[in-house]
A and B are shown apart, each in its own frame.
Chain A
Amino acid sequence: MEAMTMKLNGEEVTVHIKPDAMLLDVLRDELRLMGTKEACGQGECGACTVLLEGEPVTSCLVPALKAQGREVMTVEGLASAGELHPLQKAFIEHGAVQCGYCTPGMLMSAKALLDRNPHPTEEEIKEAISGNLCRCTGYVNIVQAIRAACAE
């Protein structure tokens, strides 16, 4: 077991993990942050997307030790001071959530986009979530929600 420290959702956190543990498993099983989902375990669906130093990564394939000393943000870190993030509000208002399993990953991919590009075109939005699979919504309302969040 190795000790690992990271800045998770703005807080310093230390966990003891197996050296070959993936970041997704550490978040869910050690830290009990269940918001990030596993839907394929092979980096192909985007459901496990978190931000590592602001970059969207598929946490199911990221060794947890890669986050050592770094900043990680999960869906639980989006809201602040009791206020939902504009993306979260937009997803609710625009019908972008059905079963919701892809939602945390979608939100994190969208956040990464808006942080680097506050006024993306529709094409840029689609590119940013092209690695996030959804079976319920047909993506239409998700794209609309992200556009609406940009306008804020």
Chain B
Amino acid sequence: MSEEFSFVGKPTAKLDAPSKVTGQAIYGHDMRLPRMLYGSILRSEYPHARILNIDTSRAKALPGVKAVLTAKDIPEIKIGWARDHPVLKAGKVRCIRDEIAAVAAVDEETAQEALELIRVEYEELPGVFDPEEAMKPGAPVIHADAPNNIQEKMRQSYYHGDVQKGFQESDVVIEDRFRLPFVTHCCMGTSFCLASFNPSGDLTVWSSTQMPFLYQRDLSMALGMPAHKIRVIKTTIGGAFGSKLDMYPFEPICILLAKETGRPVRIAFSREEEFVASPTRQPVICDIKSGARKDGTLTARQVSMILDNGAYSSWGATTPLVMMLTISSLYRVPNVKYDVVVAYTNNPYSGAMRGYGNPQATFVLESHMDMLAHELGMDPMEIRLRNANQPGDVTGQGVKITSCGLTDCIQSAAESVSWKQKRAKSGNRGVGMASMIHVGGGARIYPSDGCGSTVKVDDFGKVTLISGSTDMGQGADTVMAQIVAEELGVPVENVTVINADTDITPWDVGAHASRTTFVAGNSARLAAADAKRQILEAAAESMGDSVQDLDMKEGRIYRKGEPEEWIPFEKMVRSKHFQLDGDVVLARGWYEPPTEKQDKEYRGNISAAYGFATQAVEVEVDTETGEVKVLKIAAAHDVGRAINPMAVEGQIHGGISMGLGYGLYEELMVQEGRVLNPSFADYALPTVLDMPEIDSIIIETDDPAGPFGAKGMAEPACIPTAPAIANAIFDAVGVRIRELPVTPEKVLKALKEKQAREEEDR
């Protein structure tokens, strides 16, 4: 299929790789501006306390300190989608992240020393650290306007069909509770912000934000200044994975320090601060009841979740909106009910993290699929094939599935791990699988899900794509360049991509929902097509041909059917320019996916395409130690079309390492609201030694709406891994772990319980 293309479908080195391998790439942390000051933040000592007094006098007196701010020095500002998050805290603190004071000083050392000179008097309050406890009468009240500690805006109820009827029609019904933990992004580049005002009061912010335009708007609202006086420049980003999808207190704090001092101020978190203060993945307590007929057909799925909102509301609390897609639409399920309640606690709050709730929901659902299969005495692969989504399905939630390679994914992944030969064998090895569905063509959760692009072609044949999209290291820029090169008909080396400067680039909602290749790609394609039209029209006029008879490929303009007689395209650009009524080549594209906003019952086709994947895993379990060794992961991903197969594989490998960590190794230990393991020494991030053999299988279904058939696939890579591992463990040694991570302790405990049950039965 890809032979017809010059650049699409070819493994292409990333445009930014050369500057990164030479150390030339400038990340936010590398930036130094003249007169720049270093900012630091004093955080709460207690997870729940009244602030009685803050004495900053000694800090202010420290030589080198240029400003110290507390809540009384700034207007009252509350941020976050629920506007419940004060930027600097007064009156009380609600979690150990709480920002009480901020310092700007001439160097990092002084900024940190000043924090130690700030005296805060607290009156400790009883805290609550579990969402179920928080909802009980008599629990400490965290926000006065939520006396029952419930974040009412995220209380959700979804249904399609009738689950009670569905359960009545079932031959098997099972019920279980699952728990998903706190884990964190661990971007190698920590949280960062650099802010500078010019004398007219215009603000420039250098940020690692994934959403420059929404960030611009959030800043405007937080600071009470018009958005047109704010310029957001995205620096080279040292990893994001969703952590940079919101605006957090440290950012307006940084800007307020810049305003106060009249100098640029930079805040960069230490690693410890990153572990403590950067938002986590949303933990979930989930009760699920599933029903099926004896032939394996799913009948009903009833899910209820309790979410720990933490002290303030960030994107974590909104993950149910994404989990709903999986719960309503992963596999064909005629009857579904899904209820969520979100409770405030004095724990740290959660944000967006790769998959945005889908890893949590998929762990529950895909564990339960295997458990249903077990009750029915069915092969877990068979039950999935029987219920697999097919192209053309419209699910109960109104999700319109167009391209869908799920069946192919299941079969390919299974074959790669020799499923039939390895399943249900004696010994300590086993195989397991899990699938997933995720949006792959944008996600209409904001009034606009679009992206704008402009393409300019200069007199020398240099093509510049100016895009609203955000590259956070995943390789979006390179994919855009390939798309433009292919559509316009120029060598990919001619294409430069400029993005993420809100003064220059057209609007884009942000890098989330795996939407960049699809939405920004389609936008770039439209702009490139416009540029091609302008060039061919100029050529037609110049050559005396009609436009329909001409084409352009790899920088050459020729008459169709006579490709050997070509002229360089830049010659046409020059001749169009250098004449009395000439013009330059300046093209535009705006793409808004043809999707629906959800109605009040959460129904609607919010994406223009959906991605599917199956990962199959072989594990070996050491029954003496409980250790699980992952021998191989086969990852079959329906990506529509792999525009850059090397980048697609890179996302699969990286996603698997994240899913592996989620399944077996990672947990941010939060006890009484405090992070106990805020360092790489104590937080088990997978190293190269933990990685199994990976077989990446790219399934191409040529999506009708995607650019050259492509769909988003970057989040999907980390979604099925953990449940596939849990399922493989069950196949290997017959124990079902319902809480992540699957630690050796949990496996040993489960093995002992299994042994005890078996002895009882004798």
Bound pair (A, B): yes
- Contact check, A100 vs B688: say whether CB atoms are below 8 A apart: no
Which of A79, A130, A133 has the most chain B CB atoms closer than 10 A to its own CB?
A133
Residues of A within 8 A of B687 (CB): 130-131, 133, 139
Q: Is residue A99 within 8 Å, beta carbon to beta carbon, of the partner chain?
A: yes
Is B320 interfacial (CB 8 A cutoff)? no
With contacts A74-B23, A137-B654, A143-B688 taken as known, whether A39 is within 8 angstroms of B17 at the C-beta atoms is no
Contact B654 A97 (CB under 8 A): no
Q: What separation, in Å, do the CA atoms of A102 and B657 have in the docked complex?
A: 15
C-beta contact mask, B7-28 vs A, less than 8 Å → 1, else 0?
0000101101110111111110
A92 near B17: Cβ-Cβ < 8 Å? yes
Q: Mark A45-80, 1 if CB is under 8 A from B, else 0.
A: 101000000000000000000000000001110110
Docked-complex contact A95 and B646, CB < 8 angstroms? yes
Query: A92: shortest Cβ distance to chain B, in Å?
Result: 4
Which A residues touch B689, using CB under 8 A? 126-127, 130
- A100-B16, A134-B188, A138-B656 given; A107·B21 CB < 8 A: yes
In the docked arrangement, what's the CA distance between A14 and B22, Å? 23
The answer on a CB contact under 8 Å between A137 and B189 is no
Decide if A79 touches B188 in the complex (CB within 8 Å).
Answer: no
Report whether B657 and A139 are in contact in the complex, using a CB–CB cutoff of 8 Å.
Answer: yes
Q: Within the complex, what minimum Cβ distance (angstroms) separates B219 from chain A? A: 24
Tell me, yes or no, whether B361 is within 8 Å of chain A by CB. no
Q: Does B474 contact A (CB under 8 A)?
A: yes
CA gap between A126 and B685 in the complex, in Å: 16
Report the bound CA distance from A108 to B748 in whole Å: 40
What residues on B are CB-neighbors of A33 within 8 Å?
A: 23
In the assembled complex, the Cα of A41 lies from the Cα of B190 at a distance in Å of 11
A99 touches B189 (CB 8 A): yes
Taking the closest CB of chain A, its distance from the CB of B634, in whole angstroms, is 14
Given A40-B680, A42-B681, A44-B679, answer yes or no on A95-B16 (Cβ-Cβ < 8 Å): no
In the complex, the answer to whether B473 meets A95 with C-beta atoms within 8 Å is no
Nearest CB in chain A to that of B681: its residue: A44
Chain A residues closer than 8 Å to B3, beta-carbon distance: none
Kindly state whether residue B345 has any CB partner on chain A within 8 Å. Answer: no
B709 within 8 A of partner (CB): no
Nearest CB on A from B245, distance (A): 15
A78 contacts across to B, CB distance below 8 A: 21-22
Is B185 at the interface (CB under 8 A from chain A)? yes
Complex Cα distance, B495 from A33, in Å, reads: 29
Q: Nearest A residue to B275 by beta-carbon distance?
A: A40
Bound: A107/B20 CA distance, A:
11
Once A35-B24, A98-B475 are accepted as A-B contacts, the answer to whether A135 and B654 lie under 8 Å apart by CB is yes
Q: 1/0 per residue A5-38: CB within 8 Å of B?
A: 0000000000000000000000010000111111
Q: Are B14 and A141 in contact (CB under 8 A)?
A: no
Q: Are B653 and A135 in contact (CB under 8 A)?
A: no
User: What 1/0 flags go to A94-113 for Cβ under 8 Å of B?
Assistant: 11011111111001000000
Which residues, 158 to 194 on B, are CB-close (under 8 Å) to A?
185-190
Residue of B nearest to A129 (CB): B688
- Give chain A residues whose Cβ lies under 8 Å from the Cβ of B23: 33-36, 74-76, 104
Does B650 sit within 8 A of A, measured CB to CB? yes
Q: Is the beta-carbon distance between B681 and A99 smaller than 8 angstroms?
A: no
B20 pairs with A138, CB closer than 8 A:
no
Q: Is B238 an interface residue (CB 8 A)?
A: yes
| Interface status of B149 (Cβ within 8 A of chain A) | no
* Contact (Cβ within 8 A) B650 A101: no
As a 0/1 sequence over residues 232 to 266 of chain B, the CB contacts with chain A under 8 angstroms (1 = contact) are 00001111110000000000000000000000000
Contact: B187 with A100, CB < 8 Å? no
Asked if B221 lies at the interface with its beta carbon under 8 angstroms from chain A, I say: no
Which residues from B are CB-within-8-Å of A28? 30
Contact of B21 among A40, A44, A45, A103 (CB under 8 A): A103
Contact call A95/B649, Cβ cutoff below 8 A: yes
CB-CB under 8 A from B24, the residues of chain A are: 35
A15 to B26, CA, bound (A): 23
B29 interface residue, CB < 8 Å from A?
Answer: yes
Say which residue of B27, B475, B652 sits within 8 Å of A101 (CB atoms): B27
The answer to whether A44 touches B189 (Cβ under 8 A) is no
Chain A residues near B472 (CB-CB < 8 A): 99
User: Which of B11, B188, B239 is the most central at the interface, judged by chain A CB atoms within 10 Å of its CB?
Assistant: B188
Residues of B within 8 A of A (CB): 11, 13-14, 16-18, 20-27, 29-30, 185-190, 236-241, 270-271, 472-475, 646-647, 649-650, 652-658, 679-681, 685, 687-689, 691, 694
Can you name 30 A-B residue pairings with CB atoms under 8 Å?
A34-B23, A35-B24, A36-B23, A37-B238, A42-B679, A44-B680, A47-B188, A88-B21, A91-B17, A92-B18, A94-B646, A98-B473, A98-B650, A99-B187, A99-B239, A100-B20, A127-B689, A129-B688, A131-B687, A133-B680, A133-B687, A135-B185, A135-B685, A136-B239, A136-B473, A138-B654, A138-B655, A138-B656, A139-B657, A139-B691
